[in-house]
Chain A
């Protein structure tokens, strides 16, 4: 019994991290049809930036904002000056983001020397939370909380705000949205900034659990892809459910079938694709 509870919590915590990563990816993909293969690199770079901020004496919460902000700026610059030149060529855009991922990854080795670095967690969240003989790290409970709050906030943003209405209009029919006077150019920049910021801030937030090291980008990117394929393109709910499913499979899989753990992460994706190519909650196929 304890096993199922504790591994369930583990899965929830890992799924929460995945959601923070994948929500930004899905947002960008849903509106702009850009498969941003730099997203894992953004996540890693955000963590490094946040780490440097913390080492410079900044408090952890501010460091999350700095990490998110820095990647937002980087993302916006890349969107404005590179991706926009390739509007209407989704494949060229994918390839550019792949090249950028190479550049960011090697730049990180250059600047941060490739040493694996833990991001120190805030003192108030260190240690374990105990009920009878069950113990679970407080920080992970906090991460789970952040993911749920983020999910709610994003839902509110998309479903209830004016910006959200514009984004939804853009996702459904870009030409129509443009015809109705929505400034899609600005909208794209805002969404790309937001998606990038989520990756950057997520990197800092994940830092105390995953630590930062060269290769973090390629470790995380495939997981974000799987979440999005599973959940359905551009669907917030899909990203949320997809993240949790992958989180649970990750944690129970490693405990129950350690040798197959990595492979079975991808099985639900294959299954969903064969039975329902749009993903669980997607409206459209890719």
Chain B
């Protein structure tokens, strides 16, 4: 065993020494997903999205074979840290895709900087990864928490004419950021958030929260991640609540929408993606996913798929040669995909995509629930209309964040 390891490592060393970018040699891509524990569902969807993209390219990008190495972080930050070392040091991964959760991304942030390994995030939406804690080696293939929900706040005030809204959100960074961004644009457009309820991620039942909701509000904004949207919406209905529900992108994400019933119908939400976006690129993508996995793609599936497309786009720019990491990173930040399931995508100088944000409404169509697009805000920046400089002056969105009046 030990001898084998030594042999293995020496061979790796030898090949590394001999390797100034022979185009024929496979490119090693490390992929961090979650296969065990509470986040396993998202991890599986990421794997599906990534596989679809790899198959589309027949395992080859810019003339180079892609050698994909997958690691299970178990959704635990400490394991994620070991796994990233395993991928980079032992397996020689040159580019990384992953990890799933923001807390995992934060846990490996130092390591990425130290080893200067390009990494594409397929799902972690934490604001500061492309803002106040900018990592030069990090590019994101999804929106930030706030990016999708600034427009929704404005939409709720201007188009739906809501005046008073109660927010209920998961009590963790993702929920805080979504809630605060929604509150900011909603209140700037004349609305008022009259109540904020923070339920723990592992809330067993939402009855105690639902019954606290102020009966005088015009609507409830429910910002949930994972499976909590399912629980909340069905209980909301069972408690006989009548007020309309606005959702975050993940509250009615396609990944869980397939498990919901009539309680979800009518929920208006916003996001950088909906399986119902009516473009040729998306139709083709959705059809492929439905054919392979029998369900509509959601947040994780499309995120991993796009992360892989980002990689392809950047590799083509550098003609498959990533021996110059700086040049490759520049290409990765220069990704420009005019047609994708998202719509047109290009990156700002912080490594964050500028995306079309859609307002969607859950409707039953073709025998299944879908997030039907009712409005599109084209080319939305992570900084909304505030501009980077002004936006970055204020601290990151948090639970206690209150808009400057």
Q: Do A and B have CB atoms closer than 8 angstroms in the complex?
A: yes
Chain A residue nearest to B45 in the complex (CB): A115
Which residues of the partner chain B approach A255 to less than 8 Å between Cβ atoms? Answer: 208, 211-212
Chain B residue nearest to A133 in the complex (CB): B215
Separation in Å of the B293 CB from the closest CB of chain A? 11
A113 interface neighbour in B37, B40, B260, Cβ under 8 Å: B40
Q: Which of A60-68, A124-132, A269-277 contacts B (4 or more CB under 8 A)?
A: A124-132
Say whether A14 contacts B37, CB under 8 Å.
no
Task: Tell me whether A48 is interfacial, beta carbon within 8 Å.
Answer: no
B200 interface neighbour in A114, A209, A262, Cβ under 8 Å: A262
Which residues of the partner chain B approach A13 to less than 8 Å between Cβ atoms? Answer: 205, 207
Task: Tell me whether B365 is interfacial, beta carbon within 8 Å.
Answer: no
Task: Tell me whether B28 is interfacial, beta carbon within 8 Å.
Answer: no
Please name the 4 residue pairs, one residue from A and one from B, whose CB atoms are nearest each other, closest first. A116-B227, A128-B240, A114-B40, A135-B240
Say whether B40 contacts A214, CB under 8 Å.
yes
Which residues of the partner chain A approach B39 to less than 8 Å between Cβ atoms? Answer: 114
Q: Which of A84-92, A136-144, A166-174 contacts B (4 or more CB under 8 A)?
A: A136-144
Say whether B207 contacts A211, CB under 8 Å.
no
Chain A residue nearest to B210 in the complex (CB): A10
Q: Which of B139-147, B231-239, B320-328 contacts A (4 or more CB under 8 A)?
A: B231-239
Task: Tell me whether B226 is interfacial, beta carbon within 8 Å.
Answer: yes
Say whether B211 contacts A114, CB under 8 Å.
no
Q: 9 A–B contact pairs at CB < 8 A?
A: A10-B205, A109-B35, A115-B227, A116-B227, A118-B259, A127-B238, A214-B40, A254-B199, A262-B200
Having A210-B204, A261-B200, one finds 13 other A-B pairs with CB under 8 Å, namely A3-B211, A11-B208, A13-B207, A115-B41, A115-B259, A116-B256, A117-B259, A118-B260, A137-B207, A140-B207, A210-B231, A255-B212, A258-B197
Chain B residue nearest to A258 in the complex (CB): B198
Chain B residue nearest to A116 in the complex (CB): B227
Task: Tell me whether A164 is interfacial, beta carbon within 8 Å.
Answer: no
Chain B residue nearest to A125 in the complex (CB): B238
Interface bin, chain B: 35 or more
Task: Tell me whether A120 is interfacial, beta carbon within 8 Å.
Answer: yes
Say whether A211 contacts B211, CB under 8 Å.
no
Which B residues from 142 to 173 make CB contacts under 8 A with A? none
Given A109-B36, A114-B41, A211-B231, A120-B261 contact (CB < 8 Å): yes
Chain A residue total in the interface (Cβ 8 A) = 43
Which A residues from 93 to 120 make CB contacts under 8 A with B? 106, 109, 113-118, 120
1/0 per residue, CB under 8 A from A, across B208-233: the answer is 11011000000000000011101100
Given A213-B38, A213-B227, A130-B208 contact (CB < 8 Å): no
Chain B residue nearest to A128 in the complex (CB): B240
Which residues of the partner chain A approach B200 to less than 8 Å between Cβ atoms? Answer: 261-262
A10 interface neighbour in B37, B211, B255, B259, Cβ under 8 Å: B211
Task: Tell me whether A208 is interfacial, beta carbon within 8 Å.
Answer: yes
Which residues of the partner chain A approach B256 to less than 8 Å between Cβ atoms? Answer: 115-116
Q: Give the most central of B198, B209, B228, B239: most A CB within 10 Å.
A: B239
Task: Tell me whether A145 is interfacial, beta carbon within 8 Å.
Answer: no
Given A113-B44, A118-B231, A130-B240, A210-B205 contact (CB < 8 Å): yes
Task: Tell me whether A251 is interfacial, beta carbon within 8 Å.
Answer: yes
Chain A residue nearest to B261 in the complex (CB): A120
Task: Tell me whether B114 is interfacial, beta carbon within 8 Å.
Answer: no
User: How long is the Cα–Cα vector from A120 to B261 in the complex, in angstroms?
Assistant: 9
Chain A residue nearest to B240 in the complex (CB): A128
Separation in Å of the A117 CB from the closest CB of chain B? 6
Say whether B41 contacts A127, CB under 8 Å.
no
Which B residues from 19 to 44 make CB contacts under 8 A with A? 35-41, 43-44
Write the residues of chain A forming the contact surface with B, with a CB cutoff of 8 angstroms: 3, 6-7, 10-11, 13-14, 106, 109, 113-118, 120-121, 126-128, 130, 135-140, 208-211, 213-215, 219-220, 250-251, 254-255, 258, 261-262
Write the residues of chain B forming the contact surface with A, with a CB cutoff of 8 angstroms: 35-41, 43-44, 197-200, 202, 204-205, 207-209, 211-212, 226-228, 230-231, 234-235, 237-241, 255-256, 259-261
Given A6-B211, A115-B256, A136-B204 contact (CB < 8 Å): no
Say whether A136 contacts B226, CB under 8 Å.
no
Separation in Å of the B323 CB from the closest CB of chain A? 39
Q: Give the most central of A114, A120, A255: most B CB within 10 Å.
A: A114
Which residues of the partner chain A approach B197 to less than 8 Å between Cβ atoms? Answer: 258
User: How long is the Cα–Cα vector from A3 to B332 in the complex, in angstroms?
Assistant: 54
User: How long is the Cα–Cα vector from A117 to B39 in the complex, in angstroms?
Assistant: 13
B204 interface neighbour in A113, A135, A219, Cβ under 8 Å: A219
Separation in Å of the A125 CB from the closest CB of chain B? 9
Say whether A251 contacts B207, CB under 8 Å.
yes
User: How long is the Cα–Cα vector from A139 to B239 in the complex, in angstroms?
Assistant: 10
Which residues of the partner chain B approach A10 to less than 8 Å between Cβ atoms? Answer: 205, 207-208, 211
A106 interface neighbour in B36, B207, B227, Cβ under 8 Å: B36
Which residues of the partner chain B approach A261 to less than 8 Å between Cβ atoms? Answer: 200
Which residues of the partner chain A approach B40 to less than 8 Å between Cβ atoms? Answer: 109, 113-114, 214
User: How long is the Cα–Cα vector from A130 to B238 in the complex, in angstroms?
Assistant: 11
Say whether A7 contacts B240, CB under 8 Å.
no
Separation in Å of the B178 CB from the closest CB of chain A? 18
Which residues of the partner chain A approach B260 to less than 8 Å between Cβ atoms? Answer: 118
Which residues of the partner chain B approach A117 to less than 8 Å between Cβ atoms? Answer: 227, 230, 259
Say whether A128 contacts B36, CB under 8 Å.
no
User: How long is the Cα–Cα vector from A265 to B127 in the complex, in angstroms?
Assistant: 33
User: How long is the Cα–Cα vector from A140 to B36 in the complex, in angstroms?
Assistant: 32
A14 interface neighbour in B43, B204, B226, B255, Cβ under 8 Å: B204
User: How long is the Cα–Cα vector from A127 to B256 in the complex, in angstroms?
Assistant: 22
Which residues of the partner chain B approach A109 to less than 8 Å between Cβ atoms? Answer: 35-37, 40
Separation in Å of the A105 CB from the closest CB of chain B? 8
User: How long is the Cα–Cα vector from A117 to B40 in the complex, in angstroms?
Assistant: 13
User: How long is the Cα–Cα vector from A11 to B204 in the complex, in angstroms?
Assistant: 12
A254 interface neighbour in B208, B228, B237, B259, Cβ under 8 Å: B208
Which residues of the partner chain B approach A208 to less than 8 Å between Cβ atoms? Answer: 234
User: How long is the Cα–Cα vector from A117 to B238 in the complex, in angstroms?
Assistant: 17
User: How long is the Cα–Cα vector from A100 to B60 in the complex, in angstroms?
Assistant: 43
